[in-house]
A and B are shown apart, each in its own frame.
Chain A
Amino acid sequence: MRGLIPICITVLAVSFGLLIASCNDSAIPEVELPEQNSLDTPEAYLRAIAKAQTNLVSHASSAVREMDEEEFEKVMRNVEKVIQRSPVFKSYSITDEDLTVKKFSQEEYVMQSEWREENRDDFLDALSPIISPEILEDISGLMHDFLTVYGTADIDTTGYRAIMQQASQDALSYEIGSCGNSQQITVNQASILPMPFIANTMGWFQGSQSACKSCCIECCGCSRGCDQDFLNRVGGSITNGIAAFAGCVAYTWWSGPVSWGGCTVSGLAVADFFIMKAIFQGIGCLYQCKNRPDCQQCPTAYYQYQYGTSCQNAHAWN
């Protein structure tokens, strides 16, 4: 568990770094970490970890900003080479389907843990041009202390979510107004390694925060194609109309003369309401997502992410 956390944070931090580096040249101030003795609650630990991660992001973004594209690609290819050696990596292929978050089986988890311990140094070496080992050590220490004191019960979900959210918000607070969504999309699409896939392969996120970072705020609601969404809605509308018609016929058959005309109108009216809604939402979707295949390629994980967090908060993930 201990070795897993810093690497995980690293991977996520890199994507943060990419985003920040891509759209703002201003320097990002480093956040001061609290004194060790002030860490007396789980929340304090999470805050401290979030701050440390923000520092990691700041450092990574500075490093990436100074690199040209070729250098950066080289770093990412090195990371990829290390990850590809993972026994678990081989059992996953990069397809849309696999971008949904999968949980490791116990056997895969053990296999991955062993591999991670053995390859930790290689992985960090590959990332060293971007990631500061000192800050990573800070995070690692904090996480270790946190796990020692509070155990591992909730950290995979609540803990990480809080950490990531705080960290991303902290990072974003330096970026407000300066980061155009289009730039974010460009950078995400240009990433050599799909970050969601990495986080998925690493098996650390039950949720899908890292996957969601690849989606821009403008992509909210565009996780599936507009046409498919529209057709699904129209299908649902017709079904609802038929259900309303059937209910009406059943009821009038029981309570009086069957009102075929009335029930037809009822069924059509019900279907019409739903179809109108489908049309409006379809137009909204086209307006929002047209010429944005990047939006429609958002992984299914985004859908799952949306389940737990509002779209407004997606700002913080980009």
Chain B
Amino acid sequence: MKKNKFVGRLILPVLYAPIGFFNYLATFDGAYTNVDLLWGGVIAVVLGVAIFMYFPIAQKIDHFSPAWFFVLLIFLGLLGLGWVLSSTHFPLPYTAWGNYAFSFAVLIPVIHQLFHYAYRCQKGSFFKRVRLKPTDDAQA
């Protein structure tokens, strides 16, 4: 099948951005308002765009580089914030946003790894680390 990077980049935003949104809505147990729905949808769109834009960035980020730590920081920050907010002692909207943040945070490493190795990895193995295809320069 012919690869189309633009279409490929669309898959994760389309599939992953709504996960947080659905978790957010599920927290309301049906008691959400139109405003909740609107804001949740807006954030889902923003996150979708952010995931789409992250594709070229993820490919540039080396392990343990400052950018890698920055992404790690965002991941841990959102994870912690989401965890705390989604505890039961907060009002429902906070809990819902906490679940939103937590859901997205959990997906950050997955998104990063998928984008980082996109189009570059050789056939993978469960027991071996991911090996990248040789670049055109290296082949030359």
Which A residues have a C-beta under 8 Å from some C-beta of B? 220-221, 236, 240, 243-244, 246-248, 250-252, 254-257, 259-262, 264-266, 269-270, 273-274, 277, 281, 284-285, 288, 303-304, 306-312
B100 at the binding interface (Cβ < 8 Å): no
A244 touches B11 (CB 8 A): no
Give the distance in Å from the alpha carbon of A303 to the alpha carbon of B88 in the complex: 11
With known contacts A240-B23, A257-B121, A257-B124, A252–B114 Cβ distance under 8 A: yes
Give the distance in Å from the alpha carbon of A1 to the alpha carbon of B11 in the complex: 57
Q: Which of B93-133 contact A (CB under 8 A)?
A: 93-94, 102-103, 106-107, 109-110, 113-114, 117-126, 130
In the complex, residue of chain A having the shortest beta-carbon distance to the beta carbon of B88: A221
B89 touches A256 (CB 8 A): no
With known contacts A252-B114, A262-B124, A303–B90 Cβ distance under 8 A: no
B31 touches A307 (CB 8 A): yes
B3 touches A244 (CB 8 A): no
Give the distance in Å from the alpha carbon of A281 to the alpha carbon of B90 in the complex: 13
B57 at the binding interface (Cβ < 8 Å): no
A303 touches B3 (CB 8 A): no
With known contacts A284-B87, A311-B89, A247–B15 Cβ distance under 8 A: yes
The number of chain B residues touching the other chain, given as a range, is 35 or more
Give the distance in Å from the alpha carbon of A246 to the alpha carbon of B5 in the complex: 19
Q: Which residues of A contact B106 (CB under 8 A)?
A: 240, 244, 269-270, 273-274
Q: Which residues of A contact B12 (CB under 8 A)?
A: 247, 251
With known contacts A256-B120, A256-B121, A221–B110 Cβ distance under 8 A: no
B91 at the binding interface (Cβ < 8 Å): yes
Some 12 contacts from A to B, beta carbons below 8 A apart, are A240-B23, A240-B103, A247-B12, A251-B15, A255-B8, A256-B120, A259-B124, A266-B114, A269-B106, A269-B110, A270-B110, A307-B92
The minimal Cβ–Cβ distance linking A8 to chain B, given in whole angstroms, is 24
With known contacts A256-B119, A261-B126, A251–B11 Cβ distance under 8 A: yes
B11 touches A250 (CB 8 A): yes
In the complex, residue of chain B having the shortest beta-carbon distance to the beta carbon of A271: B106
